[in-house]
A and B are shown apart, each in its own frame.
Chain A
Amino acid sequence: MPGILEAVLDILSIIFLILGLFFLFVGTLGLIRLPDVYNRLHATTKCDTLGAGLVLLSMALQSNIAIGIRLGLLILFIVITNPTAAHIIAKAAYNTGIRPQLKGRTSDD
């Protein structure tokens, strides 16, 4: 029954696409609303990695094997490089003297 399989793949693609767009939106909202650079990195890195991975997975379910392998490589690349970039940005911010905001405590550690 190829018709039922295609329908199931289409529905899975729609679900993954909507979930990925939701996570991308939540990450952008965190980038705008949160008060500190470490909070912003914390929100955007994880949400953007998951959102982009879900959108690309939604397209990989619709495609043939050649495009699927390329989208899988892109997902792997995003999952490796996005937390690395956030780590390097946070390390540079800490070494240039930006301290995290701690409520009610002194923040020079």
Chain B
Amino acid sequence: MSLDQALNLLYNIGAILVMLMIFMSLFRALAGPTAADRVAAISIIGTKTLVIITLIARIYGQEYFLDIAMVYALMSFITTIGVAKYMEKGALD
């Protein structure tokens, strides 16, 4: 097995491991005692999803997935800010 094949295998294994970490984080989003725990868990899941999208772009060799990853990062950030502001003020005004 050459280094290139080992690297491709490691990228596949890494995508599966990050998916399992997302399920572990989902426990905190499900069972968190306060709303801030849930928002933090959803923010972390967004970051890990971004890592999975870029790993899939490397595995399948589709480089336009990286643009989708950028848009996903922006949407995840704005979602976190919106939910945190709503949690703080009780209204979005």
Give A contacts to B, CB under 8 Å.
7, 10-11, 13-14, 17-18, 21, 24-25, 27-29, 31-32, 37, 40-41, 44, 48-49, 51-52, 55-56, 59, 62-63, 66-67, 70-71, 73-74, 77-78, 81-82, 84-86, 88-93, 95-96, 98
Scoring B34, B47, B50, B85 by chain A CB atoms within 10 A of each residue's CB, the highest score goes to B47
Inter-chain contacts of A17 with B (CB < 8 A)? 7, 10-11, 14
Q: Which residues of B contact A96 (CB under 8 A)?
A: 35-36, 87-88
Determine the distance from Cα of A40 to Cα of B39 in the docked complex, in whole angstroms.
11
- Chain A residues whose C-beta falls within 8 Å of the C-beta of B34 in the assembled complex: 37, 93, 98
Q: Which residues of chain B are near A44, meaning CB under 8 Å?
A: 40, 44
A48 to B80, CA, bound (A): 15
A52 in contact with B84 (CB, 8 Å): no
Among B7, B17, B51, B54, point to the contact of A10 (Cβ < 8 A).
B7
Q: Mark B52-93, 1 if CB is under 8 A from A, else 0.
A: 001100100001001101100110010011001101100000
Contact of B21 among A28, A63, A77 (CB under 8 A): A28
Chain B residues with CB under 8 Å of A73's CB are 70
Question: Contact: A77 with B70, CB < 8 Å?
Answer: yes
Query: Does A77 lie within 8 Å of B73, measured CB to CB?
Result: yes
What is the CA–CA distance of A17 and B66 in the complex, to the nearest angstrom? 18
Instruction: Find chain A residues with CB under 8 A from B37 CB.
Output: 37, 40
Give Cα distance in the complex from A18 to B77, angstroms: 26
| A residues in contact with B43, CB < 8 Å | 82, 85-86, 89
